[in-house]
Structure 1
Amino acid sequence: MDHAMVRDRARAASLRRSLLAGVGIASATALLLTGCASADTTGGGERTTIRFLYATGDETWNNVVSELVDDFNEQSETTTVQLDPLPAGSDYATAIKTMDATGNWPAIVDMRDTLTYIQAGKLSPIPETVTELLEPDAVAAAANGDVYTVPNGALNGEIGLNIVYNKTYFDDNGLTPPADYAEFEDLLAEITANGDVPLATAAAEVWPSDQLWKQLAAPTFAEWGQEGGFWTAAQNGQASVEDLREPLQKLKDITDQYVLEGWQSTADAQTTTLLVNDMAVMATSSAGIGRLNDIAKVDPEFEAGLFIVPAEDGSINVLKNAVNGDTATGLAISAQAAEDEDQLAGAVEFLEYFYSVDAADLMEASGWIAPNIVASDEITRNSSIPGAADYFALLESPELVWYENTSPLANFSGFNTFFRQARIEMQDGQSSVDDTIAKVQAEFDKTVAAG
């Protein structure tokens, strides 16, 4: 970005500060918790330091966040963003609750439980100067008409939840990605018959347990897509956890017969190493093209591909990204930071940068799919990563079926964590499918009763 653009950004930030002060949005008390003004060693005056809390993930996402913040800090004359990462293995939704309980809100938060915190008044509306940079389908207003979260990546649904595989092995053994669920079962059996391990999964943290489960459960969830989603139907008494028996049984059978041992203590990122070292032919992933990029970094010669486990009829059911809802993710500005004009102006300035073409190009070059910005035609797309063509082809697949499955329950994320742990215990042989269904239903009923 040239110096004239930098000056324009600085003037814009200064103008926003003046406007905010004019309407009386000012409070020095939040400064102690959400950031501070620090002396600028370059002689350009004082800079406002703001914190950015985000959930760490695969290597690609972590690198993207770091590079974006470094690039922003180099060009901004008014704001310094300080990364506040939550280490992998933590329950991020629980961490946000703890942060809220201690009153220690950063300026920018990678949100979970969005609707809960909107209703509690913990988030500040995101101004139009940010939302106008995004395609209309990438943002959604809350019930009061304000927008509170904006996406941290492309809203391509859960296409990132897929199976990454060794293309060379497939070619050498005459195998192809499955066209329906029966072919997926045959694929697992054939690799096993070759004396090799078909699949690596991870459960050192609870969230990777979604990676295979959601692919198996998607056909059942999709059946309720027109009724507000499975969990809404369950809340209304139209569906129950018993309806998930078939995918739960599939999950247990696959784990028992085809998954590499030690999955309970395997970290998600570790599946990259297992794959390139030929310890498994396939691996579950939720990183999408980011996982392909990780593999290319570890072994540039490794030929990776990916596919999503299809339904019995060959459909590829993929959950839409909920741009607003209780479990929706996205970047938000905390209400606590918004009480300080400099904090708010700094947060807005960073988000405006986040949705610029410059930032999108940096994301794409690093192996991340940039958010759906209005200027998407100007983005330099990265098609050089081995296997990336498979990812982009999924977006155009005639078998792709989008469905919705959100829940308005305020405590749904807590139930979701319980359900994940219950599935892990079932896969590990600590409980039967029957016991899992019973205790998950009981927990869901408690969640519904709590409102």
Structure 2
Amino acid sequence: MHDAWKQTFTRRLFIASTGVAIASLALAGCSGAGNAAGGSADKTTIRFLYATGDETWNSTVDALVKDFNEHSDTTTVKLDPLPAGSDYATALKTVDATGKWPAIVDMRDTLTYVKAGKLAPIPSEVTDLLQPDAFAPAADGNVYTTPYSALNGEIGINIVYDKDYFKKHDLSVPKTYDDFISLMKKIKSNGDVPLATAAAEVWPSDQLWKPLAAPTFAEYADKGGFWNAVVNGDASIADLRAPLEELQDITDNYVLQGWQSTADAQTTTLLVNKQAVMATSSAGLGRLMDISKVDPKFNAGMFIVPAKDGKIYVLKNSVVGDTAGGLAISSQAAKNKKELASSIEFLKYFYSVDAANLMQKSGWLNPNIKKSDEVKLNESIPGAADYFALLKNPNLVWYENSPELPTFSAFNTFFRQARIEMQDEQTTIDQTIDKSQKELENQVAAAG
């Protein structure tokens, strides 16, 4: 296993409100120097645009920026948070439309913005702090994003559960997909709700879907990934029928009612309040931290839904490409020498041992820095042992599935919504497959 995946964290795909994005940027203005942006007259003020998420991520960002600002003699970082409400990739398009890019940006659709000249190269004095597998250059040889968390793939897309309930009812963590279904049947036979999930925003729909679809996706790992195979005509969305049927079956029979209007963060409350025995998650260790804050005595555990063959298929993080996330420096800020210097200073802090230890203390797993052996892992959170053990699971299988379609994020939003409508029985599986296939073909045609 590559070094870049030895520390664990999957940062869930955070989302943002387009309308709030416009309002936030209009009030905050472009990143600037001096007290014009609210900083000290002797410091350069830069802005950090990021997608808000669970309480752990939000508090981690706040703690990092506060610590940096207290110790920097040259720079003040101001936060531009984009609250939950819509697709974050769409919100970035709104940011681009305003023409007011902050200095540091939490990126989506990276290559699209690289080609548009919106991002500046990240210098080696930043990348030299990271493990070699934690970043990669674009086609022009420049690095445009560096990670905001440990690159452990989608280990964080998993099931959090009530260990005390499992012990009381003599239940075990499932070793196969069939075991998972049997487990939910047993919980239901006890008169309890097996699983809580959320769809108040579209992105949490991935939390149950991706483990179900992973075995199919993994079949195309050596062929450029499933989505590239669909674009090339070597596969189709009809090949996802089996996991779509599994998704529908679980929703119909085992999921807590009201999931359509449940926000992702609310699943923590549903779990702690015993309204469900298990809950989907994409926040990894952060979700465990959230639970411990709500109820320090709650005995949480964590597992990933295995495939029928007992393997645990986990998507690798892409460090380059349109689907790659990460922190970037905007080209707008790079035109100002002071803002560029301050941006580099902040990124160098972000990849320091001090920042890594602060992230760990906050319940966030830090990016893969070269000095990772100096970082103290946070093993105090209930359930953390399960989380760290996932990377050592002998049944773990890594696969790749990095779409090259420039507008894939737009299709992905469409596909998520289509699945939600299917789960809500507004449409059939056949209709979901047909309209999703047509939408992808339209996106391919539009991309030329």
Question: TM exceeds 0.5?
Answer: yes
- Within 2, Cα distance between the matches of 1:233 and 1:251? 22
- Within 1, Cα distance between the matches of 2:236 and 2:320? 24
TM-fit CA distance, 1:34: 2.7
Contact in 1 for aligned 2:31/2:37 (Cα 8 Å): no
Task: Please name the residue that 2:33 is paired with.
Answer: 36
- Within 2, Cα distance between the matches of 1:437 and 1:36? 51
- Within 2, Cα distance between the matches of 1:430 and 1:126? 46
Aligned residue type for 1:305 = G
Query: Residue 275 of structure 1 is aligned with which of 271, 282, 293?
Result: 271
5 Å matches for 1:145-164? 145-164=141-160
Aligned residue type for 2:34 = A
Task: Please name the residue that 1:4 is paired with.
Answer: none
Contact in 1 for aligned 2:29/2:100 (Cα 8 Å): no
1:38 alignment partner, SS class: helix
Question: What do the CA deviations read for 1:224-251 (whole angstroms, capped 9, x no partner)?
Answer: 0111100011111000000000001110
Task: Please name the residue that 1:95 is paired with.
Answer: 91
- Within 2, Cα distance between the matches of 1:309 and 1:210? 13
- Structure 1: where are the runs of 5+ without partners? 1-30
TM-fit CA distance, 1:33: 2.6
1:292 alignment partner, SS class: helix
TM-fit CA distance, 1:425: 0.5
Question: What do the CA deviations read for 1:253-280 (whole angstroms, capped 9, x no partner)?
Answer: 1001000000011000000000000000
Query: Cα gap change, 1:56/1:40 in structure 2, threshold over 3 Å: closer, same or farther?
Result: closer
Contact in 2 for aligned 1:288/1:391 (Cα 8 Å): yes
Aligned residue type for 1:182 = D
Query: Residue 202 of structure 2 is aligned with which of 197, 203, 206?
Result: 206
Query: Cα gap change, 1:258/1:40 in structure 2, threshold over 3 Å: closer, same or farther?
Result: closer
Task: Please name the residue that 2:247 is paired with.
Answer: 251
5 Å matches for 1:139-288? 139-288=135-284
Aligned residue type for 2:401 = N
- Within 2, Cα distance between the matches of 1:282 and 1:275? 7
1:390 is aligned to 2:393:
no
TM-fit CA distance, 1:45: 5.8
* Percent of aligned pairs sharing the same letter: 68
Q: Number of residue pairs matched? A: 420
Task: Please name the residue that 1:86 is paired with.
Answer: 82
TM-fit CA distance, 1:328: 1.1
TM-fit CA distance, 1:372: 0.2
TM-score (norm 2): 0.92
Question: What do the CA deviations read for 1:311-350 (whole angstroms, capped 9, x no partner)?
Answer: 0000000000001111111000001111111111111100
Task: Please name the residue that 2:342 is paired with.
Answer: 346
Aligned residue type for 1:370 = N
- Within 1, Cα distance between the matches of 2:433 and 2:32? 46
Aligned residue type for 2:441 = D
- Within 2, Cα distance between the matches of 1:219 and 1:255? 19
5 Å matches for 1:381-420? 381-420=377-416
- Within 2, Cα distance between the matches of 1:192 and 1:255? 13
1:75 is aligned to 2:74:
no
2:381 alignment partner, SS class: coil
TM-fit CA distance, 1:90: 2.6
- Within 2, Cα distance between the matches of 1:314 and 1:445? 34
- Within 1, Cα distance between the matches of 2:371 and 2:119? 27
- Within 2, Cα distance between the matches of 1:39 and 1:174? 62
1:165 alignment partner, SS class: strand
Question: What do the CA deviations read for 1:8-43 (whole angstroms, capped 9, x no partner)?
Answer: xxxxxxxxxxxxxxxxxxxxxxx973323228999x
- Within 2, Cα distance between the matches of 1:361 and 1:382? 9
Contact in 1 for aligned 2:37/2:45 (Cα 8 Å): no
Contact in 2 for aligned 1:34/1:336 (Cα 8 Å): no
Task: Please name the residue that 2:353 is paired with.
Answer: 357
Contact in 2 for aligned 1:40/1:46 (Cα 8 Å): no
- Structure 2: where are the runs of 5+ without partners? 1-27
1:125 is aligned to 2:121:
yes
Runs of 4+ in 1 over 6 A off after TM superposition: 39-42
TM-score (norm 1): 0.92
Contact in 2 for aligned 1:39/1:47 (Cα 8 Å): no
- Within 2, Cα distance between the matches of 1:151 and 1:200? 30
Question: What do the CA deviations read for 1:200-242 (whole angstroms, capped 9, x no partner)?
Answer: 0000111101000001000000000111100011111000000
- Within 1, Cα distance between the matches of 2:255 and 2:30? 46
Question: What do the CA deviations read for 1:43-63 (whole angstroms, capped 9, x no partner)?
Answer: x86111111010001110000
Aligned residue type for 1:172 = K
CA RMSD of aligned residues (A): 1.4
Task: Please name the residue that 1:23 is paired with.
Answer: none
Contact in 2 for aligned 1:197/1:279 (Cα 8 Å): yes
Contact in 2 for aligned 1:220/1:244 (Cα 8 Å): yes
